[in-house]
Structure 1
Amino acid sequence: MENDPLVRAAVDVRLRAYAPYSRFLVGAAVETVDGRIFAGCNVENAAYPEGTCAEAGAIAAMAAAGGRRIRRVVVCGGLDAPCTPCGGCRQKIREFAAPDTAVIMVSPQGETLLERTLSDLLPDSFGPGSLS
Structure 2
Amino acid sequence: MKKSIFFAISLTFILLTQNCTGRSLHATFVPSANTNPTREYATESTVSKGGLFFHKTFVPGPLGFNAEGTSEGRGCSHSILHLFSFGDSSIETAKKSANITKVAYLDYEQLGIVAGYVYHRVCIIVKGS
**TM norm structure 2:** 0.27
Higher normalized strand content (fraction of residues): 2
Relative contact order (alpha carbons < 8 A, sep ≥ 6): 1 or 2 greater? 2
- Max Rg structure: 2
**TM norm structure 1:** 0.27
